[in-house]
């Protein structure tokens, strides 16, 4: 039987135990991100989050605040597109199906195609507009086509998120326009990116688009990383004042495949530079190994 400890000894032992717990917790929190040498991002701490995942193994290669809730902005449209792809596979839609633009869809703020109420757009062009232009009017029209209303469609989006393992995501609209109830995490958005690649390889090429033709004009996109990183093949950018500059990216190179998410950049160029550094460092480490 151990001898009884004095009150002072008990306090010292408790304090030592607390320090050990704090040390282990701190090491666990930084162990993933410490494996790569990455410069501090130009981002507000309350908005920033990032993650890099090896798509082949599922291993997390880098992560900072990856499970902290953030605003998704137009990364939301990845789920809208997921449900369109699903409708194509079930036969509910074809690429030539027409989607009518309601008065509600037409009044959505930019970014948009400025379509008039009563006009229509085929599914193929709608997908191009969602990926490249991040068109909010088209997102709302798609939601009304598939869900009857955008609110009902948003519930389907959240339900699908749960089914895919996105446990901390709530969607309240199809576009990602500002809503305090909308939330996600970097990990959840990476999970969605992986699901799009895995579940719809036959449609994934939409995410590679950097432009498309619409009414005789070339509409150009915002995803500059497609031209900055060798092997980059999609996915989606996003921005609102509350979210900062977001980006989900996919890269395949030399038999390796990565998916990464950066949230909360202070500018589009800062976000793109940070994403490029994350992906480059991840591939360089993989090559050294």
What whole-number distance in Å separates Cα of residue 20 and Cα of residue 198? Answer: 42
Secondary structure element (H or E) that encloses residue 257, with its range: strand 256-265
Token pair 């060798």 is at which residue? 230
Q: Name the active-site residue from 33, 47, 50, 74.
A: 74
Torsion sign (Cα): 143, 225, 268, 220: negative
Q: Among this protein's residues, is 77 annotated catalytic? A: yes
Q: If you write DSSP's letter for every residue of 134-191 in order, what string do you get?
A: --HHHHHHHHHHHHSSHHHHHHHHHHHHHHHT-TT-B-SSSS----TT-BB-HHHHHH
Closest by CA to 258, choosing from 238, 285, 223, is 285
Helix (H) or strand (E) holding 237: strand 232-240
- The Cα 250–Cα 279 span in angstroms is 9
Q: Which of 77, 112, 145, 160 is catalytic?
A: 77
Cβ–Cβ under 8 Å, residues 227 and 220: no
216: three-class secondary structure by DSSP? coil
Residue 74 bears catalytic tag: yes
* Measured distance CA(86)–CA(78) in Å, rounded: 12
Q: Is 134 a catalytic residue?
A: yes
Torsional class of 118: left (φ above 0), alpha (ψ -120 to 50), beta (otherwise): left
Residue 219 CB partners (closer than 8 Å, separation 6+): 113, 129, 132, 133, 211, 212, 213
List 50, 111, 134, 250, catalytic entry = 134
Catalytic residue set: 74, 77, 134
């Amino acid at each position: 039987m151990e001898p009884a400890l004095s009150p002072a000894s008990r306090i010292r032992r408790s304090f030592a135990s607390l320090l050990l717990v704090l040390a282990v917790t701190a090491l666990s929190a930084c162990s993933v991100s410490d494996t790569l040498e990455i410069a501090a991002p130009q981002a507000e701490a309350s908005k920033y989050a990032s993650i890099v995942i090896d798509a082949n193994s599922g291993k997390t290669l880098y992560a900072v605040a990856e499970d902290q809730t953030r605003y998704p902005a137009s990364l939301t449209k990845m789920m809208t597109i997921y449900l369109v792809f699903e409708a194509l596979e079930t036969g509910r839609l074809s690429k030539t199906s027409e989607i009518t633009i309601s008065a509600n869809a037409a009044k959505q703020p930019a970014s948009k195609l400025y379509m008039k109420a009563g006009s229509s757009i085929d599914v193929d062009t709608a997908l191009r507009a969602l990926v490249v232009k991040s068109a909010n009017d088209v997102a709302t029209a798609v939601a009304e086509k598939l869900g009857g209303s955008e609110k009902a469609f948003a519930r389907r989006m959240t339900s699908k998120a749960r089914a895919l393992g996105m446990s901390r995501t709530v969607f309240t609209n199809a576009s990602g326009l500002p809503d305090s109830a909308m939330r996600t995490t970097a990990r959840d958005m990476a999970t969605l990116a992986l699901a799009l690649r895995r579940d719809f390889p036959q449609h994934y090429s939409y995410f590679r688009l950097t432009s498309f033709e619409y009414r005789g004009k070339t509409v150009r996109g915002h995803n500059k990383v497609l031209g900055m990183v060798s092997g980059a093949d999609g996915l989606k950018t996003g921005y609102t004042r509350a979210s900062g500059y977001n980006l989900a990216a996919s890269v395949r190179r030399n038999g390796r495949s990565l998916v990464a998410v950066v949230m909360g950049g202070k500018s589009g160029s800062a976000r793109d530079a940070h994403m490029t550094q994350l992906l480059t460092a991840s591939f360089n480490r993989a090559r050294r190994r």
